Structure 1
């Protein structure tokens, strides 16, 4: 199992944000990402929402840093940690836009992109953006296949029910031969989408037991990943609780975990990451040595 970090500041969600994050910015984000990089964590995450309706922001939060711009900056201040969108909403973008922009990010970062994607659930945001909501699942399937075709070559072709193109050049394309794609969701259809079109399933709003039951009913290819998230961990003050959470996720089938950290400042956040690494090594969780290449 590998352990990553849900970056603070980039998402102001009421359930997971710490008070200090409201006044923080790119300096704090960068210092925490650099510390996670040096400690050998697997990835950092950044979510996507474009325009949250005001009446929804109180529940979901209204601040979401753009992952492309954020990761473009962090690519220059880190060296090995992976940059994971968690998640990019497929319906908000043409697949060639995703392939070009995030393929460029993969080049800029030296092949460290993880593309986490989802179909989206906030109908009012779809409406604001002029995106199609009713058939978003089928559109997402086609978009994901199209993105796959364009990540691996500068001259992609695709002929699907919603997107079709040929005789075009899209350069630069991704540096990795196969960009890891994590597919988010909380339904069996989302899990099937992940198995058929992705490299890992990244569920949300499900208990570990519910996730384990879903996974037991689906045949998964070799190497298929399961990316699970923790609740707020306090590895300094509540080490036993943090260990229990990690063990519970591993027992549910996690191959990768994104950790959310309770902290009182950016410096405290980094101290928590150091303590969490020390705890995690007790569970034989893998960390990347400083000299290890990610490509």
Structure 2
């Protein structure tokens, strides 16, 4: 089971983010990314919201750094760790826009992109951006098919229900022959979408038993990723609890986890990274 990180600072969800993140400097983020890279963690993440309604900020949080700019910065700070969107909302973008922007990220990072995508759930944000909300699931399915046809070629062509293009040049493109695509969601439909159209599933807000039940009812390919969230963990203060929670996710079918860590400062966060690495290596 691979261990990745929910990058601190760049997304601050109430109840998950630590107080120090509010005033963190870019140097703190650089230091943490380099530490995670040197310790061999699997991935760093960044989510997407363009604008969050004030009424939603108390639960969703208000801090969402732009994923493309953020992961581009993290790519320059690191050399091995993968860079995962978690997630970008398909309905906010044309597939070729994603292919160009994130294909360029894949190139500048040396092939370290994992493209996490989602259908989206914030109707007010869809309205703000002029995106269609009612049929967003169908549009997302078509966008996934278009992305698979377009991410790793400079001459993309696709003819689908909502997206059609041919005789276009998109250069540069991704350097990975097949960019891993993970689908976010918490429903059976999201898992089916991931199995049929992508390479992995990133459920949220589900108990381990619920994840295991959904996976048992689906014919999941052998190389399919199941990426589960966990945290905030305190591996320096409560290593046994951290190990127990990671084992529970392994038992639920996780092939990778995305960890949040409790910390009081950037330096403490780096200490937590070292302790988490030791806990994970002993599983």
Q: CA deviation at 1:2?
A: 0.5
What is the SS of the residue equivalent to 2:58? Answer: helix
Q: CA deviation at 1:29?
A: 1.4
Which residue of structure 2 aligns with residue 51 of structure 1? Answer: 51
Which residue of structure 1 aligns with residue 281 of structure 2? Answer: 281
Q: CA deviation at 1:54?
A: 1.1
Which residue of structure 2 aligns with residue 128 of structure 1? Answer: 128
Partner Cα distance (1:55, 1:25) in 2: 27
**CA deviation map 1:86-141 (0-9, x unaligned):** 01110111110000000000000000000000000111111111111000000000
Q: 1:28-67 alignment to 2 at 5 Å? A: 28-67=28-67
What is the SS of the residue equivalent to 2:184? Answer: strand
What is the SS of the residue equivalent to 2:182? Answer: strand
The more displaced of 105-114 and 50-59 is: 50-59
Q: 1:146-225 alignment to 2 at 5 Å? A: 146-225=146-225
Which residue of structure 2 aligns with residue 257 of structure 1? Answer: 257
Partner Cα distance (1:282, 1:118) in 2: 33
- What is the number of equivalent residue pairs in this alignment? 283
Q: CA deviation at 1:222?
A: 2.2
**CA deviation map 1:219-238 (0-9, x unaligned):** 01120110001021000111
Partner Cα distance (1:246, 1:136) in 2: 33
Which residue of structure 1 aligns with residue 69 of structure 2? Answer: 69
Q: CA deviation at 1:25?
A: 3.2
**CA deviation map 1:245-285 (0-9, x unaligned):** 000000000000011000000010000000010011111xx
Partner Cα distance (2:30, 2:237) in 1: 25
Partner Cα distance (1:27, 1:254) in 2: 32
Which portions of structure 1, spanning 4 or more consecutive aligned residues, are displaced by more than 3 angstroms? none
What is the SS of the residue equivalent to 1:50? Answer: coil
TM-score normalised per structure 2: 0.99
Which residue of structure 1 aligns with residue 145 of structure 2? Answer: 145
Partner Cα distance (1:170, 1:151) in 2: 9
Q: CA deviation at 1:60?
A: 0.7
Which residue of structure 2 aligns with residue 288 of structure 1? Answer: none
Which residue of structure 1 aligns with residue 95 of structure 2? Answer: 95
Which residue of structure 2 aligns with residue 287 of structure 1? Answer: none
Which residue of structure 2 aligns with residue 116 of structure 1? Answer: 116
Partner Cα distance (2:33, 2:248) in 1: 26
Partner Cα distance (1:73, 1:84) in 2: 13
Which residue of structure 2 aligns with residue 292 of structure 1? Answer: none
RMSD value, Cα: 0.7
Partner Cα distance (2:182, 2:220) in 1: 14
Which residue of structure 2 aligns with residue 243 of structure 1? Answer: 243
What is the SS of the residue equivalent to 2:167? Answer: coil
Partner Cα distance (2:225, 2:161) in 1: 28
TM-score normalised per structure 1: 0.95
Which residue of structure 2 aligns with residue 290 of structure 1? Answer: none
- Runs of at least 5 residues in structure 2 that lack an aligned partner in the other structure: none
